[in-house]
Amino acid sequence: MQDNAPPRTYRVKSFGCQMNVYDGDRMAELLADQGMTAAAEGENADVVVLNTCHIREKAAEKVYSDIGRLVKAGREAGRQPMIAVAGCVAQAEGDEIMARAPAVSMVVGPQAYHRLPEMLDQAAAGKRASDTDMPADAKFGALPQRRKSGPTAFLTVQEGCDKFCTYCVVPYTRGAEISRSFNALVEEAQRLIEAGAREITLLGQNVNAWSGEDSLGRSIGLDGLIRELAKLPDLQRIRYTTSHPNDMSDALIAAHGEVEKLMPYLHLPVQAGSNRVLKAMNRSHTVDSYLKVLEKVREARPDIALSGDFIVGFPGETEAEFEETLRLVDAVRYAQAYSFKYSSRPGTPAAALDGHVSREVMDERLQRLQASLNRDQLAFNQASVGSSCEILIERKGKFAGQWLGKSPWLQSVHFEDNDGAGAAIGKTVKVELAEAGPNSLKGHLLQPVLA
C-alpha cells in the first residue's frame, strides 16, 4: 500500500481443489481475526491472497497475470494492495515469484499459512516475507476457532500424499501424509455444526488413509471417525473426498451400508483403464483390483453414486490403451466424473518419460471420454426422475421462490416454494424429482421443512 493506513479489507481468491477452498476459508478467518473485513464484491481490497493450484499447467502464468491485474487496479485507485501468494504454486515456485514479482510482499505455503498475520505485520513494515516450511500438523493448532459456516462445510482431516503417482505434484507441494488428531477433528466438527453446518465433507488428498486414536485410545481408521461424527446430533450428512483405491478398507466399505448419515456417494479416482498405463503412473492398483473395490462398495450400498478422476494422454498411452479406459467407464457407469488432459509437471517422473502424446490426440480422447461420462451422468440423473428424496437447501435460486440444494447423491436440485412452506437455507426438505438434465434436476416440494 502506498500510504501508511493499516489494511482494513481482504480478499482471498482460491483456485483448484476443495482443500484449497478450505485453506482459503481458514485464511479469511485469520484475517478477520485481525479485525479486517472481507472486501465487498467489485471493490479493491487492501490485502489480496491468491491461493493457488499447481496440479496442471499454466498455474504459474495465471498467478503472474492476476498479480498484473491487481497492480493495474491499484494504480488506478492510487493505493496498491498487499499481495500474498499462497497455495501450491507458492510452495513449488516461491523463490521465483519473489524474484519475478516485486509487487508480491508475501509468499506462504499450504503448511505455513497460520503465520499470515505476522507476515502481514512484516510486510506492512516494508519487509517482504516468505515461508514455505512444512512442519507436520503445526498450522491447525495455531488457527482461530471456526465461527462461521454455511449449511455445508469442509473439514480437512488428512493432508499430503505418500503415493507418488508419477504425474502428480501433490507429494512435493503438500508433503507427506499426516492425519489430524481425532479430538481436534471432533471439536472442529462441533464448532462447524454450532455455526450452522448440517453437512460436513471430510477432506484429504488421501482421506481414506486417515488414522488416529479415538477418545479411549483405540486405533481407528476413517470409518471410525465417521461413526463418531455421525453421533453429533445436529449433523445430518457426512461425505469424504478424495480417496485412493488401495486405502478403501473393508471397514470403510461396511460403513457405507451401516452409517445412515454417510451419504451414498464415493469419489474414487482410477485415472486410466489400462494396467500398463496404471503401472507407468505408479498407481499401485490394477483395473481388476479397482473394480473389485467398487463391487464390494455396491454390495454394501447398492444405490451408491460413483465418481472418478481420469487422465487422458499419459506419456506412451496408445489408442488401444485409451479404449480400455472407455471400456472401464462403460462397465462402471459413473454418476459423475472429472477428466483431464495429461499435463507435464516439472520435477515429476512422468515428465521425463518418452512418448508424449500430441495435443490434438489428447483433445480428441478427452472429447470421446467426456461424451461417455456425460451420457452416464445424464442416465444416472434420469433414473432418479419420479423418485423423491431429501434435499439440503444450500442457497436461493435465480428466480423468486426458487431454491437450490443437493440430493444425497450430490445431484444439484432446484425447486420452488411459492406457498411459503418454509424452505430456507440450511433446512432439509422432501422433494420429488421431476426433470433431469446432465448437471441438475428440477423437483417439486413435497412436504415442508424437515429440519
Q: Which of 26, 345, 365, 406 binds ligand 5AD (CB under 6 A)?
A: 345
Cell of 160: 499430503
Q: Counting beta carbons within 10 angstroms of the beta carbon of residue 135, is it exposed (0 to 12), middle (13 to 18) or buried (19 or more)?
A: exposed
Q: Which of 114, 163, 267, 285 binds ligand SF4 (CB under 6 A)?
A: 163
Cell of 312: 487422458
Q: Which of 27, 170, 192, 248 binds ligand SF4 (CB under 6 A)?
A: 170
Contact call for residue 256 and ligand 5AD (CB under 6 A): no
**Could you write out the DSSP letters of every residue in 377-419?**
HHHHHHHTTT-EEEEEEEEE-SSTTEEEEE-TT--EEEEE-TT
Name the segment binding ligand SF4 (CB under 6 A); options: 70-78, 88-96, 112-120, 157-165. Answer: 157-165
In the chain, the N- to C-terminal Cα span, in Å, equals 47
Binding to ligand 5AD in span 55-74, by CB under 6 A:
55-56
Cell of 292: 473389485
- Minimum Å distance from CB 311 to ligand SF4? 9
Residues paired with residue 338 on neighbouring β-strands, in sequence order: 309
Binding to ligand SF4 in span 348-377, by CB under 6 A:
none
Q: Which does 163 bind (CB under 5 to 8 A by kind): ligand SF4, ligand 5AD, none?
A: ligand SF4
Q: Which does 117 bind (CB under 5 to 8 A by kind): ligand 5AD, ligand SF4, none?
A: none
Name the segment binding ligand SF4 (CB under 6 A); options: 117-125, 165-173, 185-193, 321-329. Answer: 165-173
Cell of 222: 476413517
Cα 149 to Cα 146: distance, rounded to the nearest angstrom:
8
Contact call for residue 244 and ligand SF4 (CB under 6 A): yes
Name the segment binding ligand 5AD (CB under 6 A); options: 28-36, 44-52, 342-350, 377-385. Answer: 342-350
Q: Which of 258, 309, 416, 432 binds ligand 5AD (CB under 6 A)?
A: 309
Contact call for residue 171 and ligand SF4 (CB under 6 A): yes
Residue with the three cell numbers 447423491: 409
Residue with the three cell numbers 488416529: 212
Name the segment binding ligand SF4 (CB under 6 A); options: 62-70, 77-85, 163-171, 210-218. Answer: 163-171
Q: Which does 59 bind (CB under 5 to 8 A by kind): ligand SF4, ligand 5AD, none?
A: none
Q: Are strands 265-267 and 211-213 parallel, antiparallel or unpaired?
A: unpaired
Do 123 and 105 touch, CB atoms closer than 8 A? Answer: yes
In terms of CB distance, is 236 or 307 closer to ligand 5AD?
307
Binding to ligand 5AD in span 133-172, by CB under 6 A:
167-168
- Minimum Å distance from CB 166 to ligand 5AD? 9
Cα 176 to Cα 150: distance, rounded to the nearest angstrom:
30
Query: Cα-flanking dihedrals φ and ψ of residue 267, to 5°?
Result: -95, 110
Contact call for residue 164 and ligand SF4 (CB under 6 A): yes
- Minimum Å distance from CB 246 to ligand SF4? 9
Residue with the three cell numbers 512442519: 135
Contacts of 329 (CB under 8 A, 6+ apart): 273, 310, 337, 369, 372, 373, 376
Cα 52 to Cα 15: distance, rounded to the nearest angstrom:
5
Binding to ligand 5AD in span 322-341, by CB under 6 A:
340
Q: Which does 244 bind (CB under 5 to 8 A by kind): ligand SF4, ligand 5AD, none?
A: ligand SF4
Q: Which of 20, 111, 158, 271 binds ligand 5AD (CB under 6 A)?
A: 271
In terms of CB distance, is 113 or 167 closer to ligand 5AD?
167
Q: Which does 171 bind (CB under 5 to 8 A by kind): ligand 5AD, ligand SF4, none?
A: ligand SF4
Contact call for residue 311 and ligand 5AD (CB under 6 A): yes
Query: Cα-flanking dihedrals φ and ψ of residue 100, to 5°?
Result: -85, -25
Q: Which of 45, 60, 157, 165 binds ligand SF4 (CB under 6 A)?
A: 165
Cβ-proximal residue to ligand 5AD, closest one? 309
C-beta contacts of 272-277 below 8 A and 24+ residues apart: 272/310, 272/311, 272/314, 272/317, 272/321, 272/324, 272/325, 273/321, 273/324, 273/325, 273/326, 273/327, 273/328, 273/329, 274/317, 274/321, 274/322, 274/324, 274/325, 276/321, 277/314, 277/316, 277/317, 277/321
- Minimum Å distance from CB 308 to ligand SF4? 12
The DSSP letter of residue 192 is H
Residue 96, CA distances (Å) to 21, 85, 173, 344 in order: 24, 12, 15, 19
* Residues of this chain that bind ligand SF4 (CB under 6 A): 161, 163-165, 168, 170-171, 205-206, 244
Binding footprint of ligand 5AD on the chain (CB under 6 A): 55-56, 167-168, 269, 271, 309, 311, 340, 342-343, 345
